[in-house]
Chains A and B, each alone.
Chain A
């Protein structure tokens, strides 16, 4: 979760404003939302992912399902795929998850009923970057019609994203091998500060004619973590296909949670639908993204100034909330035990935990860990 420079959670100013508007609106009540969610939320959420000028939206071949956070969107998508993709109830369709990935990806698809969950190469520990060759090779060798979970931006946990050129290569292989793209978009806007930039990959795939799913989370970019606001965007070949897909997703939703929670969706819908509030929101998002980017650059420059062994450009080349520092488990143990700096055994740090007050301490501690422990 995001933290301010004081190390505190941050409720976005635009969210506070909109919550007040909602509280003051006596015409609102707590009635059930439709099964697929608040219509204004669904349409606006998909528009954010695909772009105002998206040809897919113009061609009415985009569907949306309001879900409980990004997790809920992944789960509804996974449940649907297990029932209807690559045949009927084909639990044998391979599902590929990056190595490493968010650990819940595996559980979501497993609990949805898929029996064959595999990994694809992603992180190259030696060069601290993307193992593109490994990734493309895995895609070449994957059985036709396999499902690939792709991180739309700010890969969790490595912070390492393919470049546009690399995405183009990935798309080409996926098209040729008939692989299904299931995007996980949890950080749109939060990664680079630009909604459009962070959605580039998803939009590229759409422009290449793919049918795809995109699980969107508004937990981070709206700071609405506990309201569980998510959206499953479905891009299909045409309106008729999308309509039938949505009708079946409705049945899945009905036995999972019946209809989604209204508070968070109202906040997002109100914000996205108003040009003024939308601009305000983009500003708030940029504030968060900029702080993270600043911490990255400050951490890197301190490490380089200290002459910490190794290269540290990956700290600023990586993007989003997390960074794979490259620290090994022993060095991590030193950080935790001796310096009381908490990070994952994988060497992953949450950049949001850095503040102007603790930057020096963290940089020095990393320096110590790297020089004292091999």
Chain B
């Protein structure tokens, strides 16, 4: 007999499971609109030119493979913080922050979640927007936190339920933790406008909530890194000492290299040093120290003026292609004769679009048209090309007319 007889078969990951099903499909017209990985207009993965250049520069340096410090590559963590906070940020210049390298967005979120579980004694409750990225809930739960929710997405309008959100957030018990998507909300693509962010900041300040920003798409949402980081920077300027998780998976196309960072804005540099020491104590028993490759590439790009310029252009290029696909999808739906209001497709921002499609309609799209997306009707616009946008519009029209 086995130790494992009672171990249940775990269900397939809902998001990554979509890609697996797609791979098995033999239909030549199949479309993978599941996982959020950018594709070029030929539907191919895109390795950024600045990444290739950075890799060549790194190879030429012939560096050794000695362990990184537990907190990661210093040039990378510093540049990540500066990218998020802005070079003129008082918090950045004064050094009242700590940034540790994390295993892309997930790893950074998890470090933060573990840190809060250990050191944020005021509350176990983490408030997520409804809906949020599917992996947020299990990450915080596995870290030992409890999950709550605040209204966010309005399915009737396919846009932000701002009054619902404000209503819920104003009632969150003091000193709870609230998670906010910095830009390009996943899965809905619905972001607050700047005036709305200002009201949100005032409310969380009044409720004395700990703010946890998840920024996985800086630059990728609007095409402008400063614009996409506006909410993060505004909150800090309002005196809200946030914690922040960053990912370079999408905006640098470094998915499998796992480049990310976790930042804590502190009262002062001394507090930052103490927080850093505790973060290291958390990281060491997880994986000792982080992987170098992605961090070196990101660092090279961020810290080399020419490469940084090139990167900003390329990230805008990716964002622009996505924006153009949104526009083309809507115009193609009109051409198909759809009478529905599809404005939310162009109002929403970032990689994902909450189409508003119901589970039965999604199922038909998968079964009859080999168009793959998650059950909640979320599509990755990055998987749409000028070559297949017509087919997608046709398929959506068929299941919604």
How far apart sit A238 and B68, CA to CA, in the bound complex (Å)?
A: 39
A70: nearest chain-B partner, CB-CB? B288
Contact with B along A11-25 (1 / 0, CB 8 A): 100010001100100
- Taking CB atoms, residues of chain B closer than 8 Å to A259 are 256, 258
How far apart sit A262 and B255, CA to CA, in the bound complex (Å)?
A: 9
B105: nearest chain-A partner, CB-CB? A258
- Taking CB atoms, residues of chain B closer than 8 Å to A30 are 45, 47, 51, 253-257
Cβ of A245 under 8 Å from chain B: yes
Of the stretches A126-134, A222-230, A303-311, the one at the interface is A222-230
- Taking CB atoms, residues of chain A closer than 8 Å to B285 are 71, 75, 104, 107-108, 110-112
How far apart sit A71 and B320, CA to CA, in the bound complex (Å)?
A: 41
| Smallest beta-carbon distance A368→chain B, Å | 31
Q: Are B13 and A250 in contact (CB under 8 A)?
A: yes
How far apart sit A35 and B104, CA to CA, in the bound complex (Å)?
A: 13
Q: Are A211 and B289 in contact (CB under 8 A)?
A: no
Contact with B along A176-218 (1 / 0, CB 8 A): 0000100000000000000000000000000000010000000
Cβ of B290 under 8 Å from chain A: yes
Complex partner residue of A238 from B2, B8, B65, B107, CB under 8 angstroms: B2
- Taking CB atoms, residues of chain B closer than 8 Å to A31 are 37, 45, 255-256
Of the stretches B135-143, B188-196, B328-336, B390-398, the one at the interface is B135-143
A111: nearest chain-B partner, CB-CB? B285
| Smallest beta-carbon distance A193→chain B, Å | 21
Q: Are A29 and B110 in contact (CB under 8 A)?
A: no
Contact with B along A96-125 (1 / 0, CB 8 A): 000000001001101110000000000000
| Smallest beta-carbon distance B69→chain A, Å | 10
How far apart sit A347 and B130, CA to CA, in the bound complex (Å)?
A: 57
Complex partner residue of A257 from B64, B143, B287, CB under 8 angstroms: B287
| Smallest beta-carbon distance B61→chain A, Å | 12
Cβ of A84 under 8 Å from chain B: yes
B136: nearest chain-A partner, CB-CB? A255
Q: Are A258 and B257 in contact (CB under 8 A)?
A: no
Contact with B along A251-280 (1 / 0, CB 8 A): 110111111111110000000000000000
B137: nearest chain-A partner, CB-CB? A255
Q: Are A226 and B66 in contact (CB under 8 A)?
A: yes
| Smallest beta-carbon distance B260→chain A, Å | 9
Cβ of B284 under 8 Å from chain A: yes
Complex partner residue of B55 from A23, A67, A111, A255, CB under 8 angstroms: A23
Interface size on A, residues (CB 8 A): 64
- Taking CB atoms, residues of chain B closer than 8 Å to A84 are 4, 6-7
* 134-178 of chain B: CB within 8 A of chain A: 135, 138-139, 141-143
| Smallest beta-carbon distance A306→chain B, Å | 34
| Smallest beta-carbon distance A52→chain B, Å | 25
Q: Are A225 and B66 in contact (CB under 8 A)?
A: yes
Q: Are B293 and A263 in contact (CB under 8 A)?
A: yes
How far apart sit A254 and B141, CA to CA, in the bound complex (Å)?
A: 12
Contact with B along A223-247 (1 / 0, CB 8 A): 1111110000000111001111101
Complex partner residue of B291 from A86, A243, A245, A264, CB under 8 angstroms: A264
* 107-143 of chain B: CB within 8 A of chain A: 107, 110, 135, 138-139, 141-143
Q: 14 A-B residue contacts at CB 8 Å?
A: A30-B256, A32-B256, A75-B286, A75-B287, A86-B3, A104-B284, A111-B286, A227-B293, A236-B2, A241-B5, A243-B9, A251-B13, A252-B142, A255-B139
- Listed from nearest, the 10 A-B pairs whose CB atoms lie closest are A68-B287, A247-B10, A262-B256, A258-B106, A107-B285, A237-B2, A257-B103, A261-B291, A9-B64, A226-B292
Instruction: List the interface of chain B (C-beta within 8 A of A).
Output: 1-10, 13, 16, 35, 37, 45, 47, 51, 55-56, 59, 62, 64-68, 103-107, 110, 135, 138-139, 141-143, 249, 253-258, 281-282, 284-294
